[in-house]
Amino acid sequence: MASIQKTQSGYRAFVAKNGIRKSKRFNTKREAKEWAARIEYEIINGKKIAAAMPFGDLLERYARERSPQKRGARWEIIRLEKLRRDKIAAIKLEELSAKHFTEWREKRLGEVAPGSVSREMQLMSSVLNTAVREWQLIPENPLTGVRRPKRPLPRDRLVTAAELDKLAESAGSDLKKATARAFHAFRFACETAMRAGEIVGLTWDRVDLDRRVAKLIHTKNGRPRDVPLSIEAIRLLKELPEMDPIFGLTSRQLDVLWRKVRDKAGVKDLTFHDSRHYAITRLSKKLDVLALARMVGHTDLKMLQVYYNEDAEELAKRLD
């Protein structure tokens, strides 16, 4: 039951119902009573309230309470906001079923690549699992058992020497300009296998030029790692004008400027992330599997197969 106590700074309301205890301070007794009455109602009728909640409200709560705790918060919140604009977001939780998600999947597959659909399904499943296990709003996850689209084959796109020349001409050589630094970042990625986010976040206090090591604190898997730097990687760093972060670019700037450089150069079907494929394939000739996995930050050796793209002709030469 609810009780209201006078305090030095106002009033504190206490609610104890069905094993749930909550309290909150208010400036007036009226506010305290209204809050206590609302909380009691929500506890008693919690399942009914949750059942009538649109799926979109659940997505909004997750974006507000859970997403900010993650490294990729910005992109996850953007995806959740987009999902809230879909028709499926209007369906009440009590009515939401595997059928709705199957229909959503088929519609979505006509709009984006299977990999994107799979990632969006994974995000929605995380939201629903939180609603089941932590918020206890629904008894089970209706997405469980809904078939995910087949994973597309790993990309095997490697940049060529001729394309690097075109990109260099497109970007220009003046590293005081952000456009040139965007291509410089790509070249650095080809040397180190570092991801775009790791490169733009690199600061001088994390680089030891004498030991030739870059220390990464914020990585995709959340584990810090030290990246060995080749002589060429050191040279690329020393060519940059003095600024901190080292490349003087945000993730957004790098994405936009890289696309601008690539399109102007007329290079087709090449992403910034393809630099990682190029680097790992090249580094595999110098490092053993364990050393390579340590350098690029893979805890699962199977992931190296996704990025390792040496062709059969090159392998044949190594047999002799």
CA distances in angstroms from 174 to 17, 122, 251, 310, 314, listed in the order given: 68, 43, 20, 33, 35
Residue 295 near residue 228, CB atoms below 8 Å: yes
Distance, CA of 38 to CA of 102 (rounded, Å): 37
* Catalytic annotation present for 133: no
The Cα diameter of the chain in Å comes to: 87
* Catalytic annotation present for 220: yes
Residue in 87, 220, 223, 252 annotated catalytic? 220
Residue 55 near residue 96, CB atoms below 8 Å: yes
Residue 221 near residue 272, CB atoms below 8 Å: no
Residue in 11, 62, 278, 307 annotated catalytic? 307
Residue in 84, 108, 276, 298 annotated catalytic? 298
> Checking DSSP bridges between strand 213-216 and strand 207-208, what pairing results, if any?
antiparallel
* Catalytic annotation present for 307: yes
Residue in 105, 195, 262, 276 annotated catalytic? 195
* Catalytic annotation present for 286: no
Q: Residue 4: in which H helix or E strand, if any?
A: strand 2-7
User: C-alpha dihedral over 284, 285, 288, 291, to 10 degrees?
Assistant: -60
Residue 217 near residue 224, CB atoms below 8 Å: yes
Distance, CA of 283 to CA of 280 (rounded, Å): 5
Half-sphere exposure of 41 (CA within 13 A, CB side): 7
Residues noted as catalytic = 195, 220, 298, 307
